Structure 1
Amino acid sequence: MKVTNRLTHIATKVNFETAKTEDQLKAAFEAKGIAGFPAMLDIKERTEEHVQFISLDDLLAFAKASGVAAVTYDVTYFPHADQGEVERQLTQLGRDLEISAEVIKDVCATEIQEYLDLDAKRDVAVPVHSIVECYVNGTAFAWYGLNDYPRLKGVVLQKLARGGQKAKHDFIMRASRAQVDLMDEDDIPTDVVLR
């Protein structure tokens, strides 16, 4: 029996099973007597919308007991990151944080290079994540398999959260410019000095 005293939702870490290859998934489906069909599934879009099973075996046993004859699945592989991928991710992150991607590159140059070096050692033949889902009476049920892989956004956000002079300077300058933009030149007090 599960007992909780939390009356509000608190994000908790969930340990997912490792991602499986298509052949591994097919073997698991066959063992349960369920057909599996490849589909274009996106883990990000579906995470909040599904009843999630932590174990693939439990999901398939539930599907079988519920009379489901088939499930859909998707397996995702990532190629090694290159400078183009770094640029794409930093541009997006810069937009999200409303800070220049160039500042992020300056502040996090060491972490970005460490990310590229670490990602270059990753085996691209190992899937990054795999998803299996089924529907029972209009409710979606899913299993997610995840393998650890370097995440640029994570290391960059950690570095920015710890701070850096370039990031600090950029935020101060943006705030100063915004303050000036809000005032008419006639309204600026003579004793205010912007540095």
Structure 2
Amino acid sequence: MRMIKKRFVLPLFLLVIAALFFNSGWMAWVYPIGYKEEIREQSDSYGIDPFLIASIIRVETNFRPSKESRVGALGIMQLMPDTADWAIEQGKLPAATTERIKHEPDTNIRIGTWYLRNLSDQFGDNTLEVVAAYNAGPGNVKKWLEDGTWDGTLENVKNIPIGETRHYIQRVVYYYNQYTKVYETF
């Protein structure tokens, strides 16, 4: 009798745990999104998919502010100081010092999202080209597209001559897909 109970209790326990696991939103713990309000606000302002912004931040810094890369990129969206200064001037954005860009996520997200909007305008809203340009610069991506090195598709991302950019696109796409599965809305 005791053995029969164990046979039924363990599977029942595992079934209950599995039901809780799949219905409790646990995946949001695995794929958290920080700074949702700031992302949502800038997404609305510039017409950029909030999941794309979150995916780029996840790949760049995993939502940890105050980062500076070895090449000098700053803050949560890893903006190069020259790019940030250019975006502030072109976008008529509120002036920001490099310290603010590095340490204030809302400032960094505003400038980074404006820059994504600018790249989207340049690349006809082709998200993969925008992501590639965010990483490698718009000049490189335009050159690859014009000379036929890359056709702007995920299937041919292997043709991008910069390994870091190939990997970057794949990671952003991965997190974008995860976020859109885990979160019904932003």
TM-score normalised over the length of structure 2: 0.25
**Greater relative CO (CA pairs within 8 A, separation 6+):** 1
Larger strand proportion of the pair: 1
The structure that has the greater radius of gyration is 1
TM-score normalised over the length of structure 1: 0.24
